[in-house]
Each structure stands twice: as C-alpha cells, then as structure tokens.
Amino acid sequence: MLSSRIAIVTILCAVLAAGCDESLETVAGPTPDLTPTLSSIQRDIFHASDSSGRPSCASCHNPNGGAFRAVGLDLSTDGTHASLVGVASRQKPAVLRVAPGDPANSYLIQKIEGHADIVGTRMPQRGPFLSDGQVAIIKRWIELGAKND
C-alpha cells in the first residue's frame, strides 16, 4: 500500500516537473514568446523593448552606451553569454553576474529585482521593470545551467 502511494506521488511529481517550462510561457506578460533559453532572453529581453514600455537592455548595455562604460557589460552581441555567465560583477566582484544553477546568487537577478544590497539602481534604470513572469523565466534559464542556447 505504501509503495503504491510512493509510486503515485513520484509519477505525479514527474508529470508536474515536465510541464514546468510550459507554464512559464503563460506568465511571460508583454513577451509571450519568452522561454528559458539564452537565445529567447536575448531576443525578447536584451534586444527588444516590449509593450509595457520597457527599453531593451542593449539600448544602454552596448559598446557605445553609458552602462557599458560603467560596468563593462555588453548585451548587444553574440558575446553576451561570455560576458554574463561565470563572470564577476564589476559592481560587486565577489558575486557572479550569472551563477549557473543559482539564480538567487546571480547579480543579474539581484539587479532586475532591485535587491537592497545592489550597487546603483534597479534595472532597467528608469523602468518599467520586468514582470514577475519575465524574471521567473530568466531565473529558470539560470536554474537549468545558464547554457548558451
């Protein structure tokens, strides 16, 4: 009896986990095609503004932008992964910009959520900010290992 309950719970958990990324797509807000891959995040968040009025990240984080000169982060090129993942933040060198598998300790998440201990301001600087769903999808990409996909 107990073993059959354990089997049912195990199967239920596996089914729920398999559908996890699909449910993220339904909460993407102004970026309905956003998925937890770098190519999607780059296309829909880093490179594009959205219907909320949020500017693209690359509008400031590019080789000619003030944010690039200040923090050295270029989100406008194919080199985005190399400048984000496993790289120390210039503002808080003890914290990685993106720590694969660990969104809570990734400075990117801390900046877009506006944590109290960040240096400077929440991103994007003047808002509108990313929706909770957009942030959840970026966190999921990090949880999945922050692959260059």
Residue-level length of the chain: 149
Q: pLDDT truncated to tens, each residue of the chain (149 aa)?
A: 544 444 333 333 333 343 455 555 567 888 888 999 999 999 999 999 988 899 999 999 998 888 887 898 999 988 899 999 999 999 999 999 999 999 999 999 999 999 999 999 999 998 999 999 999 999 999 999 999 99
**At a CB cut-off of 8 Å and minimum separation 6, what does 91 contact?**
71, 107, 118, 119, 120
Is the distance from CB of 61 to CB of 76 less than 8 angstroms? yes
SS (H, E, C) 18-43: HCHHHHHHCCCCCCCCCCCCHHHHHH
